[in-house]
Amino acid sequence: MTEHRARVDELLAGYRRGRERLAAVHGELAAISASETGADGLVTATVGPRGTLTGLEIADDAYRRLQPKELADAIVRVAAGATVKALREAGDVLAPSLPAGTDPHALLLGTADLEASDIVRPPAVEEESLEDKSWLEEL
C-alpha cells in the first residue's frame, strides 16, 4: 500500500468517525425533553429540544383560580422555563463536539459571539385587550 493510499484511508476513517459522532449527537439532541411546573402547580409545560411545546397540563381548578390573562401568562412563563432547561441540556450535549472556546448555549440562542449591545430588539407592540369586549353586542 502506498503512503498516499494509507493517508486517504486514514482521512476516510476520520470522516466516518466524525459522521458517527454527529449522528449520535443528533440522536441525543432529538431525545431532549424538559418540563417546568408553575410555583402554584396549576400549569406544567413540556418542550422538545428546540423549545417547541410538546405537552401542556392545566389543573382542573386553574380555570376557577386564574383569570384568562393570568392563565395565559402562566403558560408562557412555564413554557419559557422549560425551554431554558431544554436549551441548557442541548448545549451540554453539543459542547464536546464544538471547537474549544465556543459557547454552546450562545450558539443555540443564535447570539454566538455577539455582545448584548450588538443585538437589536424590535420595539414592543401594544396589543389591544379584548378582555372587556363582547362580540354579541356588535351583532
High-pLDDT (> 70) share of the chain, %: 86
Per the prediction, the chain carries an average pLDDT of: 85
pLDDT band for position 96 (cuts 50, 70, 90): confident
pLDDT of the residue at 72: 94
pLDDT tens digits for 97-115?
888 888 888 888 777 766 6
Looking at the DSSP bridge assignments, the partners of residue 129 are none
- By DSSP bridging, strand 53-58 and strand 34-37 are unpaired
The domains found in the chain, sorted by start residue, are 32-112 (3.30.1310.10)
DSSP 8-state class, residue 129: P
Q: Are 45 and 85 a contacting pair, CB within 8 Å?
A: no
- pLDDT > 60? residue 91: yes
Burial code of 63-91, b = ≥16 C-beta within 10 A, e = fewer? eeebeeeebeebbeebbebbbbbbbebbb
Cell 372587556 sits on residue: 132
Q: How far is CA 34 from the centre of its chain?
A: 9
Residues whose CB falls within 8 Å of the CB of residue 30, separated by 6 or more in sequence, listed in order: 49
pTM given for the model: 0.68
